[in-house]
Amino acid sequence: MDYQEIIEEVYHQVQNLNLKGNVATYIPELAEVDPKQFGIALVDLKGNVYGVGDYQVPFSIQSISKVHTLTMVFHKFDTQLWYRVNVEPSGNPFNSIAQLEYEKGIPRNLFINSGALVITDALCSKFERPTEQISDFINEISGKNCVNINQQVKNSEKSHGERNTALAYFLKSYKNFDNPVEEVLDVYFSHCAIEMNCVDLAKSFSFLANDGFSIFANRQILSESHARRVNAIMLTCGFYDEAGEFAYRVGMPGKSGVGGGVAAVMPHKFSIAVWSPELNEKGNSVKAIKALELLTDKLSFSLF
Amino acid sequence: MDYQEIIEEVYHQVQNLNLKGNVATYIPELAEVDPKQFGIALVDLKGNVYGVGDYQVPFSIQSISKVHTLTMVFHKFDTQLWYRVNVEPSGNPFNSIAQLEYEKGIPRNLFINSGALVITDALCSKFERPTEQISDFINEISGKNCVNINQQVKNSEKSHGERNTALAYFLKSYKNFDNPVEEVLDVYFSHCAIEMNCVDLAKSFSFLANDGFSIFANRQILSESHARRVNAIMLTCGFYDEAGEFAYRVGMPGKSGVGGGVAAVMPHKFSIAVWSPELNEKGNSVKAIKALELLTDKLSFSLF
Amino acid sequence: MDYQEIIEEVYHQVQNLNLKGNVATYIPELAEVDPKQFGIALVDLKGNVYGVGDYQVPFSIQSISKVHTLTMVFHKFDTQLWYRVNVEPSGNPFNSIAQLEYEKGIPRNLFINSGALVITDALCSKFERPTEQISDFINEISGKNCVNINQQVKNSEKSHGERNTALAYFLKSYKNFDNPVEEVLDVYFSHCAIEMNCVDLAKSFSFLANDGFSIFANRQILSESHARRVNAIMLTCGFYDEAGEFAYRVGMPGKSGVGGGVAAVMPHKFSIAVWSPELNEKGNSVKAIKALELLTDKLSFSLF
Amino acid sequence: MDYQEIIEEVYHQVQNLNLKGNVATYIPELAEVDPKQFGIALVDLKGNVYGVGDYQVPFSIQSISKVHTLTMVFHKFDTQLWYRVNVEPSGNPFNSIAQLEYEKGIPRNLFINSGALVITDALCSKFERPTEQISDFINEISGKNCVNINQQVKNSEKSHGERNTALAYFLKSYKNFDNPVEEVLDVYFSHCAIEMNCVDLAKSFSFLANDGFSIFANRQILSESHARRVNAIMLTCGFYDEAGEFAYRVGMPGKSGVGGGVAAVMPHKFSIAVWSPELNEKGNSVKAIKALELLTDKLSFSLF
């Protein structure tokens, strides 16, 4: 059985399960998305693309972009950054400020909001035009000019951004934030408002399945050792408060976003993006997670 | 024995105890204050003033001003405000953001920073020129143009204000903050930077010992019932994380500030202000608290 | 207007308000109590008794007995005990174990379960037959053999006592518990299962309104200074997570129990017990609290 | 380069680093262990054993036994058990009771003390002579009668067991504990007091590297899918509050114990046990963790 058959089978099995969830409602743009949409795109290490359902429809990748921004500063900062943010899974919701206080301004990991803000802050220190350079980078590793920043989504996030603003000032009070809050938040909301389809998103994760080398950019994006470490971080921290459950049921390094997308990799095999807007109460797409669980059950290889 | 003799005796007993603490250091203006200063002023209900030590030296009243701002909105808001802030003692440090998250954006009481920000926000909604009107109000109830806002202190607080800014945005994320953050913080830092001496501060608390009537303003500032309630709040919440200890050892409603001041009242008897810059680890003046403890031991009346 | 008229007026006003709550249900004996019962007894400093409603019906005093046990060790331990338990109001539910962990085995105050267990442990160290001696003590200060330990309630509490057992072992792990857990819990469940009526309960609190002297025992129970301190503790910590609210609305030192009773004092005036089984969500009797609020509104004197 | 060369190289590199930590001191038996000891044993899927240093010296495996007990109930309980315990990484210390309260009596994962107690409780419900049967099981999968329960260690743990007793009663208060506390704790302290050397311990983990089949017991211990899931749990939760760091630096599923041991697996390749008593501040062996980090750097395969 080849990948195309498998993802189609998974697609239909999930559709038949009639899973229910709720689309994100904190901004109108996400609330208005058609909740029925569901797509899967798998990209193998030769660049072959397999797709099913709404896999060519662009969607808001939201927090999945945190993997891209992390990658952009990973090779530049290496050790320095580890004094500013940890890599431990969090036992609290993604936007909790309590744990940040308890841990004295050092975010518990890179994917909770406070940690991602530190990464974006570091990125603003290193790049002249950070927002454009993030787009350029993702375009490069997807092998295509595919990135579109939805300005309406960005503005909407901004106008509901009090909590992230609070997190940024809180980090600043602990001297763990170098650039002006407004400036960093603008970059942060921009990269969270990126829209891509499943194919391009899966391609942009390909280097993580390939020991750091992107066949689309045709260059080594991260060293082999760094690529493995990003995967380790995704496995332990990529699914908010549900990372353990995802490792347990699926066992692939991945990252989810509140737009209903999940991007994941099976090292040395393939990268994959699944999208469906309805979320479970932990903020992860119900269909995407089920699809990945069924997929790993069907495949003869596993991380473990 | 009259009040003058008693406070002099208390003053000398405290001086002999050789108590040690640390002055606040988060802003240079407070760090540079001469730590040896110590003054007591007691004002009875007829307006007689008794003083000892540095009781005529102006100092930064800091959080003590939160009693004044609370009073200014107490009669205007009454019931509405209670949906926005509680009156329960806090088991956490005065600037904790964790508890605010746990209680979903409703500050636990009016004197921790988040609660005081709600009060200042309410005040900004009700007054046109809030900073001036706060000064005017305190001048009125002290019977003298005594209020001076130290601009250097204010600017210093502002430039170290990230944590309060975080609290304000966090409140805003819970829709518990109506005005622009910058604007409210400017008023907040202004009233915290007020300088007064012990005499004027004690006078400004006189109405709370007198069922709401200020003999200096010659008018009813709060209703009898409201004045009692402000006293109840001071007793349970006036000393940060040490309110229980203060109630236990002293038993007077009062409020302390990080500048080393304490203002307190013995209902139907007198109001008092004590000031000495060295603080214990809870942020309360070591000498002021000891003085008030010795004072209530010597006096034949007590709250309890 | 005399006390009898006032409490009758209060009684009828409260009855007309049709307040609703829920009786405690964690043990069958409390769940089966007739929820409509409501009684008030006030005892002045001369020993005159004023009563209305079900003021002569015995009820389970539960946590109110913690004031009696505290009194029994207060004069014996004084300073030593303060290393083992604090007097700060708690921002958490009465049986929280989290705060105990956060504060490294030192209960935040004497009335939350962990703190009361430390007191009962101290009592077990000092008395040979602690359970009997608690009964003897309460009988003495009520001036009557009125104490009955309801064995069914005690056994029921015991068979649902896992959480208190956990608290005791947790205290032991911090070396803040001297006697065998089983033994102390037996005494603890015994004193919580004491039944008394409003009159006797009010009499047993009389010494706290009278600078430590009990007219029923005809002796000084606590020094004047200690009596004041017990009152201060009741004011700041006597009503679980609602102590601030009670101080604010009522302003009397008091202690509530999950059986629906409240005992309180107006220093130098009277002691009072109010009982009605329906509780609010904080575990305090809705009618008792309302009655005390109306009472202090009607009386011309106040703590503040 | 073969395994023997690699582990010898790792051994010497680690020895040269002169790493420092502290042996566990909460019981005298662990405090008295010679801190200089250090051994590594690697077992490949054919059963070949490679060893270096003190790899044949028995040591107290402590929490590593939780993997064995989990395995014993994993196939029996499957779905039922998941209502009683989660698989999420914990952001708190291993013996925290606060998180257990916050999550209402459902331990966050199977390896923190509360979760392991639930597993041992489940084991006591299913087995007649649980302590012996745990020994029998470990002997079977190690292919040798190697298990020795050190009675002195067990008794010492018991006499310092107040915190675990508190956790057990706390679980019972949430109805998440079926058997008598004393009985379960006896089994728990027994399996934590097991002594084995690195070789036997590595053999006992072999089935987890081998899709559930133990070549030493010559039978399928867990289904392929269950074996993978145990590995996933070890990866996300196996190193207390340092699981993310271990996944990041080492990337192997494993479990550590306070005796200084670590057992880990590289799926489809080998199992390994490393032991050295000095611990870092998170409670994991400093030398064992460094050795595993160097080992995965040297090997050409990785989980990610």
Is residue B164 part of an annotated ligand binding site?
yes
What chains are in contact with A, requiring at least 3 Cβ pairs below 8 Å?
B, D
Confidence of residue A91 (pLDDT cuts 50, 70, 90): low
Residue with tokens 């509050």: D241
Is residue C83 annotated as involved in ligand binding? Answer: no
Q: Please, is B123 exposed, middle or buried when counting C-beta atoms within 10 Å of its C-beta (0-12, 13-18, 19+)? A: buried
User: What is the set of domains in chain A, with CATH numbers?
Assistant: 3-298 (3.40.710.10)
**Pairwise CB contact (< 8 Å): C244 & B304:** no
Interface of A with B (CB under 8 A): 96-98, 101-102, 162-163, 165-170, 172-173
Contact D237 A244 (CB under 8 A): yes
- Residue D89: predicted pLDDT: 82
Catalytically annotated residue among C14, C23, C66, C271: C66
Tell whether residue C240 is among the known ligand binding residues.
Answer: yes
Contacting residues of B for A98, CB less than 8 Å apart: 97-98, 101-102
Query: Is B258 annotated among the ligand-binding residues?
Result: yes
Asked if the model's pLDDT at residue D79 lies above 80, the reply is: no
- Average pLDDT across chain D, whole number: 93
Select which of B63, B96, B114, B285 is catalytic.
Answer: B63
The pLDDT confidence band at residue C77, using thresholds 50, 70 and 90, is low
Does the annotation count C114 as an active-site position?
A: no
**Tokens encoding B275:** 């000031």
**Is the Cβ–Cβ distance between A122 and A134 less than 8 Å?**
no
Q: Which of C67, C79, C88 to mutate to test the interface with B (most CBs of B within 10 A)?
A: C88
CA C6, C7, C10 angle in degrees (round to 5)? 90
What chains are in contact with B, requiring at least 3 Cβ pairs below 8 Å? A, C
pLDDT confidence of A81, banded at 50, 70, 90?
confident
**Cα torsion through C81, C83, C87, C89, rounded to 10:** -140
Give me the pLDDT at residue A50, please: 98
Catalytic residue among A11, A14, A60, A63, which? A63
Residues 6 or more apart whose Cβ sits within 8 Å of residue D32: none
Pair B66, B263: CB distance under 8 Å: no
Q: What is the pLDDT of residue B101?
A: 80
Q: Which residues of D fall within a CB distance of 8 Å from C90?
A: none
Cβ separation B167–A167 shorter than 8 A: no
Distance from CA of D158 to the nearest CA of C (A): 12
Residue D268's closest chain A neighbor by CA? Answer: A304
Residue B76 has a pLDDT of 67
What average pLDDT score do residues B290-297 get? 94
- Residue C129: CB atoms within 10 A of its CB come to 10
Query: What secondary structure letter does DSSP report for C264?
Result: E
In this prediction, residue B93 has a pLDDT band, given cuts at 50, 70 and 90, of low
**Mean predicted lDDT score pLDDT of chain A:** 93
pLDDT at A266 over 80: yes
Q: What is the identity of the amino acid at C245?
A: E
D113 is in an annotated binding site: yes
Contacts of residue B98 in chain A, CB cutoff 8 Å? 97-98, 101-102
Interface contact flag, A248 D99, Cβ < 8 Å: no
Whether D93 has a pLDDT exceeding 90, the answer reads no
pLDDT band at A257 (very low <50, low <70, confident <90, very high): very high
Decide if C247 and B236 are in contact by the 8 Å CB cutoff.
yes
For B128, residues 6+ apart whose C-beta sits below 8 A from its C-beta are none
For position A6, what pLDDT does the model report? 96
Is the model's pLDDT at B12 over the cut of 90? yes
Cα distance from B169 to chain C (closest Cα, Å)? 23
Report CB contact under 8 Å: B97, A97.
yes
Considering the candidates A10, A14, A55, A66, report the single residue annotated as catalytic: A66
User: Is residue D88 pLDDT above 90, yes or no?
Assistant: no
What's the DSSP call for residue B92?
S
Is C46 one of the catalytic residues?
A: no
Which residue out of A94, A170, A176 would a mutagenesis test of the B interface target, given it has the greatest number of B Cβ atoms within 10 Å?
A: A170
**D240 in a labelled binding site:** yes
Q: Which of A101, A162, A172 sits opposite B96 (nearest CB)?
A: A101
Residue B92: the pLDDT is 66
Q: Is C157 annotated as a binding residue?
A: yes
Distance from CA of B166 to the nearest CA of A (A): 4
Query: Residues B41, B50: contact at Cβ < 8 Å?
Result: yes
Residues D148 and D157: their CA atoms lie apart, in Å, by 16
Average pLDDT on B232-237 reads 92
Distance (Å) from the C-alpha of residue D245 to the closest C-alpha of chain A? Answer: 6
- Of the candidates C240, C265, C271, C276, the residue annotated as catalytic is C240
User: Measured between beta carbons, which residues in chain B are less than 8 angstroms from residue C90?
Assistant: 91
Per-residue pLDDT band at D77 (split at 50, 70, 90): low
DSSP letter string over chain A?
--HHHHHHHHHHHHHHHT---B---SSHHHHTS-TT--EEEEEETT--EEEEESTTS-EE-GGGHHHHHHHHHHHHHTTGGGGT---PPPSS-TT-SHHHHHTTT--SSSSSHHHHHHHHHHHHHH-SSHHHHHHHHHHHHHTSS--EE-HHHHHHHHHT-HHHHHHHHHHHHTT---S-HHHHHHHHHHHHTEEE-HHHHHHHTHHHHTTTEETTTTEESS-HHHHHHHHHHHHHHTTGGGHHHHHHHT---EEE-TTSEEEEEETTTEEEEEE-S-B-TTSSBHHHHHHHHHHHHHSS----
Structure tokens at C68: 């009696």
Q: Is residue D282 among the annotated active site residues?
A: no
Q: What is the mean pLDDT of residues D14-35?
A: 93
Chain D: residue nearest A88 by CA?
D244
**C-alpha D221: how far from chain center:** 17
How close B98 comes to chain C (CA, Å)?
Answer: 12
Nearest residue, CB atoms, B170 vs list A102, A163, A172? A163
Question: Taking an 8 Å Cβ-Cβ cutoff, which residues of chain B contact chain A?
Answer: 96-98, 101-102, 162-163, 165-170, 172-173
Side-chain-side CA neighbours of A282 within 13 Å: the count stands at 19
Residue C261 near residue C61, CB atoms below 8 Å: yes
Which has the minimum average pLDDT: B6-10, B91-95, D105-109, D236-240? B91-95
Quote the pLDDT of residue A200.
98
State how far the alpha carbon of C32 is from the alpha carbons of C24, C36, C60, in Å: 9, 12, 12
Range B93-107 average pLDDT: 77
Is A66 labeled as catalytic in the residue annotation? yes
Nearest to D170 among C166, C172, C173 (CB): C166
Contact A229 D248 (CB under 8 A): yes
Reply yes or no on whether B174 is catalytic: no
Q: Position of tokens 């003190």?
A: D54
Residue of B nearest to A160 (CA): B173
Q: Does residue C93 contact residue C243 with C-beta atoms inside 8 Å?
A: no
What percent of chain B is modeled with pLDDT above 70? 97
The pLDDT value given to residue A102: 77
Q: Do C88 and B253 touch (CB under 8 A)?
A: no
Its pTM surpasses 0.95: no
Chain B residues with CB under 8 Å of A173 CB are 162-163, 166
pLDDT at A171: 95
Residues of D with CB below 8 A from C112's CB? none
Q: Report whether pLDDT(B144) > 90.
A: yes
pLDDT band of B271, cuts 50, 70, 90: very high
Which amino acid is located at D56 in the chain? Q
From chain C, the residues in CB contact with D102 under 8 A are 98
Contact B233 C245 (CB under 8 A): no
Containing D44, the helix (H) or strand (E) segment is strand D39-44
Q: Find the chain D residues whose C-beta atoms sit closer than 8 A to any C-beta of C.
A: 96-98, 101-102, 162-163, 165-170, 172-173
